Amino acid sequence: MRRLACKPRFQYLAWTWHRTMMNENTVIQAAPVIPNDSGQQPLPVGTRIEGFEIQDVIGVGGFGIVYKALDPMLERQVALKEYLPASLAQRIPGGAVKVREARHKSTFDAGMRSFINEARLLAQFDHAALVKVYRFWEMAGTAYMVMPLYQGMNLKQYAENHAAPLAQEQLVNWLLVLTEALEVMHSQQCYHRDISPENIIIQDNTDLPILLDFGAARRAIGSVSQPFTVILKASYAPIEQYAEVPSMTQGAWTDVYALAAVAHFLMTGKTPPSSVGRLVNDSYLPLHERPELPYSPHVKKAIDDALAVQPQDRTASMSLFRQALQTETQDILSLYDQVAHPQPEAPPKRLHSTKSMKRGGSVIAAAIAFTALLAVFIFDLNAPPLEENADTTKTAVVQATVPSSDTIQIGPALTNNLDPSFQAVIDKADSALTIQMEQTTLKIGKDLLRFQLESPVSGFVAVYVRASDNSLIQLLPNVRVPALAIEANKPMPLPPANEPIQAAGPAGENQFLVVVTEQPRDYGHLNFQDHYGFGLIPADPPHSGPLVQALEGISPCANTSCTDRLAAAWFSVHEVD
């Protein structure tokens, strides 16, 4: 990569922290106050704090002050950040910080707690694009942290100094580095939520990006005392950051939107329209419809998908965003070649059932094929027996079956009985679903759950899992995907692309129930507990009765003449270390 010509040089500190032992005997030396109207006076040059000597003021913001300081022990310059929210606190003689009025103390303390707690969390992160931390401590009524003094310019300054659009190679390289850094954060359920060009600098010596300003204290203070418009950068904040709506929780997809907005700014020189405005009148012009932009179609599409207004329509994770940025769009000539010379596709193998799904006079049974990879399934009752030397496959197929009056014992291939609550839904179903899978043994921490669903009726999808730890969770719908519609006889890949589900352990068998109902159903009786946006069904529900086990949901047609047919099937997947 080419080196940036960064003149003048800019020096930065990020809002990232590290904990250290607090020295209760430490005092600020030589800290005369320089009066100003705001009361947010920087400490003068020459002031020593915990051995660090202030040499200059880099910047003064609404929530703190950044100093350039000297570490005499290691003979290096560092950045020193002081927590000092101007609207809540002020400098007093002696250099300490004091809350302006008693009514502000709880808000000031909330910001301080968030500042400290996030420091403890971020201390565990280690990535070249995340700022390093040398020290952190509390004293004199406030808090301080010491970090490297980075030389470079932020992306906003970079764009102002470069009229031409950013080269694709440079853009993608920077985005790949930043998605990796953010993925490290997200793995610990920590989200930045304030990504913007001002918070990303390109270092002079490496030409690589550094992500700055996690803004924990600012968000904590803003949530208590200020409107969202003061806290959020409108062009970079997705819609879920404007209100705490159950169907719009924040997560990895929140940072995906903001990072894509930064990419849009670097590609076009303009920010995308505000997400709030797009809800009313979406004026966003997709990048893939702008041929004048010198970027590959797959890069444009990756940014467009990541900028979807609704969280459920948006790229769901940094890994998926990174994958989209690296996936080239297939040449259209190769598509014509595939049509002219199609490759034969072997039909999926189907295995004979070892258990009837009929119970208590039910007129429906679901059927599933199983593989040699320890997966447990229900099978097509009409399929021919598997030949002894037949080649097994990793594809499982669910087929509708005719009712059977025979009771067939579970064979050795079936390791567990079907979960009773799943069986209850199967017994109520009017028809069965078709499910195809390519992988039924998943490696923990690596493989994603993937299957294809086809339904004989149009309607709404629900998916449950009885995990190997015996927890029962509704995967779909959830807070990010409040409703998922399916068309009759039209295959649908699941989970949705923006809602990846990765094997997370513990090792063992996981049974899945898939339900399609013609009408959207009410699941309030299941008393969900939030589990990272999914619905965890309590092991000991607060009340008992038949509704507690009604995983198919409560139909709106219970007391009306509308139709609400039910289709269902189940399958099993093994997670392995």
Distance between CA atoms of residues 132 and 175, nearest Å? 20
258 near 232, Cβ under 8 Å? Answer: no
Residue numbers in the chain where pLDDT is lower than 70: 1-40, 118-119, 122, 213-232, 243-247, 328-416, 497-499, 540-549
Q: What's the confidence (pLDDT) of residue 267?
A: 95
Domain ranges of the chain: 10-151, 158-212+234-332, 366-576
Q: Nearest-CA neighbor of 457 among 296, 573, 569, 332? A: 569
Q: What's the confidence (pLDDT) of residue 482?
A: 80
- Identify the CATH assignment for 10-151 out of 3.30.200.20, 3.40.30.10, 3.40.50.300, 3.40.50.720: 3.30.200.20
Q: How far is the CA of 377 from the CAs of 469, 513, 569, in angstroms?
A: 19, 11, 10
Yes or no: domain 158-212+234-332 corresponds to CATH 1.20.58.100? no
**DSSP code of 418?**
P
Q: Say which residues have a Cβ less than 8 Å from residue 16's Cβ, sequence separation at least 6.
A: 119, 122, 130, 131, 133, 145, 147, 212, 214
Q: Nearest-CA neighbor of 166 among 6, 18, 4? A: 4
Q: What's the confidence (pLDDT) of residue 347?
A: 40
Give the amino acid at 185.
Answer: M
346: Cα within 13 Å, side-chain hemisphere? 8
Q: What's the confidence (pLDDT) of residue 318?
A: 95
Q: Secondary structure of 475-503 in the HEC alphabet?
A: EECCCCCCCCEECCCCCEEECCCCCCCEC
Question: Residue holding tokens 């060009």?
Answer: 197
Question: What kind and span of H or E run contains 425?
Answer: helix 420-428
Longest CA–CA span in the chain (Å) reads: 92
- pLDDT tens readout for residues 195-224: 999 989 999 888 889 988 665 544 445 444
458 near 488, Cβ under 8 Å? Answer: yes
Q: H helices within 71-196, ranges in order?
A: 105-122, 155-161, 168-186
pTM for the model:
0.52
**257 three-state secondary structure:** helix
Q: What's the confidence (pLDDT) of residue 122?
A: 66
**404 three-state secondary structure:** coil
* 168 CB burial (10 A radius; 0-12, 13-18, 19+): middle
Q: Nearest-CA neighbor of 191 among 481, 533, 534? A: 533
Distance between CA atoms of residues 531 and 447, nearest Å? 20
Q: What's the confidence (pLDDT) of residue 491?
A: 92
Tokens of residue 572, six digits: 């099993």
452: Cα within 13 Å, side-chain hemisphere? 10
Rounded to 10 degrees, the C-alpha dihedral 481/482/487/493 comes to 20
